[in-house]
Amino acid sequence: MKKVIFTLEGKRFEIELEDSFANYVEEQLKESAISFDRNNEIAKLLKAYLTALKNSYDTDKQIEILLNKIVI
């Protein structure tokens, strides 16, 4: 297990995750301009969350398209 630690609006968050997922989360947060060594605005985390939702949505749509091709 690995801890992902960041600060939002003065509140420090420590989240313990499985190692490979923690590495993935850290990379995604970095891409959304979340800093691990200083305070971050909540808007940055919201942007990261919405980006993750969009990626999940796109993946679900692609799976649906592929499943429809297999069934037909």
**Distance from C-alpha of 57 to C-alpha of 61, rounded to nearest angstrom:** 6
Residue 2: what residue type?
Answer: K
Give me the chain's average pLDDT, please.
Answer: 95
DSSP H or E run through 56 = helix 42-71
Q: Whole-model pTM?
A: 0.78
For 16-46, the pLDDT digits (tens) are 999 999 999 999 999 999 999 999 999 999 9
Nearest C-alpha neighbor of 46 from the set 68, 27, 69, 29: 29
